[in-house]
Structure formats: structure tokens, C-alpha cells
């Protein structure tokens, strides 16, 4: 074999090994150009704000621009498909959470992506706490009164953000824990739903704490309980469901970050470390808490385990209640 042939053969073997291990120049020099970060919601919402806050810090850490692009539509399916089809090079990320990974696989009979094969976990991002609220003008002052109303046999109802939303499922889980039933009144957005609860049109709602907190602080909504194992730092005077005399309910909406499948492990780890560093930054923590969100952050494996537990747990509720979108 000629010297040139030997060199070519050696370089070919080295390149193959680098691809197999996720090492080599692609990992060592990553990133060398801007990163796209897809958000499956419209601009201005909680998940969009969280992504932009964290993306600024990640950009500083990695030394490259991180461009946030909104891809709303079809319960996050549009963005999930685009991410699954993107090149596995670390230059496409997606904010993907409870709906994308844990709920859609149960709610859609023909889901066009597999959350465990087509999306690669990078890190958890934020928790979006939920609070049960009612109208200050109603006679539902506390959780025992709410439970009595829901079991009274009257035509009980509550405001919902649509079939299969985290808030809808949180209420259905609560109802199932003490054998009650109520009709979900669907709304196309949080503001009109909260407005109708505040005015007494609908008596109750499981709502995003971030959206409900200003109305609670203004006295326009009554915070009854939070579905968590401990009180929220943002509403320290509001009891948990267990403290308030109800079942020990835990239900929190959440978001994480995923990449296309086959993205090299070294690149995923580098992204995960940058995201976790951002979520541990005092400035980022302050900004997220001001928006009513709780910073998370994890290794890729820990995110996979968390998302799969949520998938399993919420699947039980969805099957028991026979909830489906299609």
C-alpha cells in the first residue's frame, strides 16, 4: 500500500470512529455557527418567555447566537415533526414538555412522531405551577366546599383550556380521586377563561399560577389550593391540596429541551451543561420567578426518566377517563 493510501485509510478509520463515539472535530469545535431553538407556541406565552430568557444565557456560554423561532400549531406537533426531521448536528433544539412527550402519545391515535425515538432529551427547563382558583363572589371559600359542590349532584362545571391540556387533566385527576364529576367548559385561551371565573360565569379553574397570580393579588380571583407537595414560594399563603383538606394531589405543567435523534452525545451533553448553567444563574432564576415559573435543569438521562414517569402516570388518567382528541 502506498503512503498516500495508508494515510487515507487511517483518516477514514479515524473519521468513522469519531462518528461512532460522537467525538472528533464536530463535538470539540461545536458550536461554530448560530443555533435554532424552536418554540411550539406563539410569542409572548410562558414557554416562549422561558426559552428566550434561557437562550440568552446559553448564547453567552457557547459563544454563538441562539435564535428562537416560534412554530405554534397542532398541540406542539408541528414543531416536533420539524425537530425530528432536522439534521442531528446540535444546531436545532426544541422546547418540548408535558404535551409533546407525556400527553400527545395518549391523546392522538395517529401521532406523526414517536417521542422516545424521534426526539432526544437534553435537559428539563421550567415547571409551570398550577393553582385552583374561584370567584371571590362565590360561596366556594375553601377546598372542602369545592369538593362538596363537585359531589353535590348539581351540574358542576369548570373552565378548561381544551381537551388534554395539563389544566384539564389536573382537574380530571382531582375529580377521580374522590369520585366526583363535572363538565369542562372549553376556552381558547387563559385570559378569557380567567375573566369568566373572576366574574362568576364559571365557578372554578385549574390555572397557570403565572397567569392567575396578578388577578389573585388584585383580589379578582380566590386562590383555593395548589396541587403540589409543598406550597409555592410565589403564593406562600395558599395551602396545598393535602393541607386544605383534600387528596394529596400533585400536578404541574413543565417544559424541557430536546434535539433531533442521533445528535452526538458529546454535543447533547455540552448543550445540557449550558442550559443547566443558565438555570442556576441568579439573574435567570429571578427573571423566571418573576414570570411565575420555577427553574429546573437536569442531565439528559434524568430528563428522559422524568418525562417517562410523567408519560406513564398521566396515561393512567387519560385511559381511565377515556380522553381523546381524535
The Cα 159–Cα 162 span in angstroms is 9
Which pTM value belongs to this model? 0.84
Residue 134 confidence (pLDDT) above 70: yes
The CATH number for 72's domain is 3.40.190.150
Domain that holds residue 81: 31-128+253-321
Mean pLDDT of 139-143: 95
Query: Which value, to the nearest 10 degrees, does the dihedral of the CA atoms of residues 193, 195, 201, 207 take?
Result: 40
Helix then strand then coil, % of the chain, to nearest 5: 45, 20, 40
- Are residues 184 and 202 located together in one domain of the fold? yes
State the cell numbers at 22. 460522537
- Condensed to tens digits (0 to 9), the pLDDT of residues 238-253 reads 999 999 999 999 999 9
pLDDT of residue 27: 58
pLDDT in tens, 217-274: 999 999 999 999 999 988 999 999 999 999 999 999 999 999 999 999 999 999 999 9
Contacts of residue 276, Cβ cutoff 8 Å, sequence gap at least 6: 123, 297, 298, 299
Beta bridge partners of 96: 256
Q: Are residues 284 and 266 in the same domain?
A: yes
Q: Among 177, 210, 225, give the residue marking a domain's end.
A: 225
Asked if residue 60 is part of any domain, the answer here is yes
In the chain, how many domains are there? 2
111 and 137 together in one domain:
no
115 and 139 in a common domain: no
Q: Are residues 142 and 193 in the same domain?
A: yes
Amino acid at each position: 500500500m502506498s503512503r498516500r493510501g495508508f494515510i487515507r485509510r487511517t483518516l477514514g478509520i479515524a473519521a468513522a470512529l469519531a462518528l461512532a463515539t460522537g467525538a472528533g472535530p464536530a463535538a470539540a469545535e461545536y458550536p461554530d455557527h448560530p443555533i435554532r431553538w424552536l418554540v411550539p407556541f406563539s410569542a409572548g406565552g410562558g414557554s416562549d418567555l422561558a426559552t428566550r430568557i434561557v437562550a440568552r444565557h446559553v448564547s453567552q456560554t457557547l459563544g454563538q447566537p441562539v435564535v428562537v423561532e416560534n412554530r405554534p400549531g397542532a398541540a406542539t406537533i408541528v414543531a416536533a415533526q420539524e425537530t425530528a426531521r432536522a439534521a442531528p448536528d446540535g444546531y436545532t433544539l426544541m422546547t418540548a414538555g408535558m404535551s409533546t412527550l407525556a400527553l400527545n402519545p395518549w391523546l392522538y391515535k395517529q401521532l406523526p412522531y414517536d417521542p422516545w425515538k424521534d426526539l432526544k432529551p437534553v435537559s428539563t427547563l421550567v415547571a409551570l405551577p398550577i393553582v385552583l382558583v374561584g370567584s371571590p363572589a362565590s360561596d366556594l371559600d375553601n377546598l372542602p366546599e369545592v369538593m362538596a359542590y363537585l359531589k353535590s349532584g348539581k351540574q358542576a362545571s369548570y373552565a378548561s383550556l381544551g381537551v388534554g391540556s395539563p389544566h384539564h387533566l389536573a382537574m380530571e385527576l382531582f375529580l377521580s380521586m374522590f369520585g366526583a364529576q363535572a363538565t369542562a367548559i372549553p376556552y381558547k385561551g387563559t385570559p378569557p377563561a380567567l375573566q369568566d371565573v373572576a366574574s362568576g360565569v364559571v365557578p372554578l379553574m385549574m390555572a397557570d399560577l403565572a397567569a392567575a397570580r396578578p388577578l389573585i393579588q388584585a383580589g379578582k380571583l380566590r386562590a383555593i389550593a395548589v396541587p403540589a407537595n409543598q406550597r409555592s414560594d410565589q403564593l406562600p399563603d395558599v395551602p396545598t391540596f393535602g393541607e386544605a383538606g383534600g387528596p394529596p394531589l400533585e400536578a404541574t405543567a413543565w417544559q424541557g429541551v430536546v434535539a433531533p435523534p442521533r445528535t452526538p452525545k458529546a454535543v447533547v451533553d455540552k448543550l445540557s451543561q449550558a442550559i443547566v448553567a443558565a438555570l442556576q444563574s441568579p439573574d435567570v432564576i429571578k427573571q423566571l420567578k418573576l414570570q411565575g415559573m420555577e427553574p429546573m435543569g437536569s442531565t439528559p438521562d434524568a430528563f428522559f426518566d422524568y418525562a417517562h414517569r410523567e408519560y406513564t402516570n398521566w396515561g393512567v388518567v387519560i385511559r381511565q377517563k377515556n380522553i381523546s382528541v381524535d
